[in-house]
């Protein structure tokens, strides 16, 4: 249902291998790798890119393929119950994108490459909701 391949937004991305309808669950996250804040601090800078917060000092280290969902200021999925869910219809071949500022990503400070009309250019953790 999805493919991982080179992305124009950021290195690797996740792409739809079929059409999806609004509200379809596209990816169900593997939440098996749970970490404490101390364990997160011991990760390399590269691995810390794939952390999301569960709250209460607990974190998930995202696994493939969900770790390759790229950020966009005009996303086509949102996170619900550890799934990436389509917020509109998606076409086969379309890159799956999420708005990282709506997730609980610690210390987020990311240059945005989405090139959408409403691009915020820098995405920071203080934008988290």
pLDDT at 126: 55
What is the number of helices (H) and of strands (E) in the chain? 2, 12
pLDDT digits (tens, 9 = 90+) for 61-111: 999 999 999 999 999 999 999 999 999 999 999 999 999 888 777 777 888
pTM: 0.86
128's enclosing H/E stretch is none
Tens-digit pLDDT profile for residues 9-52: 888 999 999 999 999 999 999 999 999 989 998 999 889 888 98
**pLDDT in the model for residue 74:** 94
Indicate if the pLDDT at residue 128 is higher than 50: no
Nearest Cα to 115, choosing from 57, 79, 72?
Answer: 72
Parse the chain into domains and list their residue ranges: 2-127
Task: Count other Cβ atoms within 10 Å, centred on residue 106.
Answer: 14
pLDDT at 107: 73
- Superfamily of the domain at 2-127: SET domain (2.170.270.10)
């Amino acid at each position: 249902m999805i493919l991982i391949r080179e992305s124009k937004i950021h290195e690797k991305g996740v792409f739809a291998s079929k059409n999806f309808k609004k509200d379809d669950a596209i990816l169900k996250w593997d939440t098996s790798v749970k970490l404490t804040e101390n364990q997160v601090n011991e990760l390399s800078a590269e691995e810390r890119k794939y952390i999301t917060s569960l709250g209460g000092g607990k974190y998930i280290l995202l696994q493939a393929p969900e770790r390759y969902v790229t950020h966009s200021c005009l996303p086509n999925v949102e996170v619900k119950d550890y799934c990436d869910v389509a917020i509109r219809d998606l076409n086969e071949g379309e890159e799956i994108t999420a708005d990282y500022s709506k997730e609980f990503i610690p210390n987020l400070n990311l240059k945005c490459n989405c090139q959408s009309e409403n691009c915020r250019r820098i995405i920071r953790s203080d934008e988290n909701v």
